[in-house]
Chain A
Amino acid sequence: MKHACREISQLASDSLDRPLSLFERLKFNIHLAMCKHCRNYSHNMKFIRKITEMIDTTNYGEIRLSDEQRQRLHERLDKSTE
């Protein structure tokens, strides 16, 4: 039982990337039912998935092309579209 936490931590992450096998699901769910630490960990993993999923272009609102970059891009486009 105790030995399992380390293995369970990997499964907590894996479950976000692949379907767990029936055996893995059983092991995972039974362990979580008994282990608060792994429940927290698994929740942390899902939490990280949720907040990183929300990162999109709008969250980089402060990032924009500098005037210099923009100028250079216009020049390079001129050259390539001549």
Chain B
Amino acid sequence: MHKADDPHTWLTEHGDYLYRFAMSRLHNEELAADMLQETLLAGWKGYDKFAGQSSLRTWLVGILKHKIIDHIRREIRGRNLTEAVENDPTSAYFNANGSWSEAPRAWKENPEELFSNAQFNATLKSCINKLPEKQQLVFRMREISGEESETVCKTCDITSTHLHVLLHRARHALRICLNTNWFGRGASS
């Protein structure tokens, strides 16, 4: 019953972990479950390639990572991922002469300490979830999955210049969201 190469056992033992991993990158329950299924099946079919050098979980995570990248590549092929360079959402924060119209606030908190605060963690996640689709996609790939810029560009079929614009907009939007929902609460600049 408890065979090492049984995907049912994998689902029981690693299902939640793999599902969470997929959710942190895709933020879509149905999709995350699909990726999990594909991963378990691919692992089952390719089990003879599992050398046992890493843990089974690590090996399955490796498969899942590829599945997610493949999915994103398929999903956005032919879709226009470019975001107009005009209508720059960051422009509202600058005067016509390019100086700040709203001075950036200093964040004095310690990131590690802050991160262990569950309430802050929830705020951060909700801010990320609110990012516009394209920005969110590249931001999750780059920051949460930790992919190299080059991989993100290739997967999404965008130029590096465009990637940098999208990432800057995403970080800028996160900064505003965190200021409004966290740092702004009674703190002075």
Question: Hey, which bits of chain A sit against chain B, CB under 8 A?
Answer: 2-7, 9-10, 13-14, 16-18, 37-38, 40-41, 43-45, 47-57, 59-61, 63-65, 69-70, 72-74, 76-77, 80-81
Interface size class of B (residues with CB under 8 A): 35 or more
| Identity of the chain A residue whose Cβ is nearest the Cβ of B103 in the assembled complex | A37
Q: How far is the CA of A3 from the CA of B100 in the complex (A)?
A: 9
Interface of B is mostly: helix
Contact: A74 with B106, CB < 8 Å? no
Contact: B7 with A81, CB < 8 Å? yes
**Cβ contacts A to B, 19 pairs, < 8 Å:** A3-B97, A6-B99, A40-B104, A44-B104, A47-B111, A48-B174, A52-B143, A52-B144, A53-B143, A55-B125, A56-B24, A57-B21, A57-B24, A60-B24, A63-B23, A65-B16, A65-B36, A74-B11, A81-B41
Q: How far is the CA of A5 from the CA of B104 in the complex (A)?
A: 11
Interface of A is mostly: helix
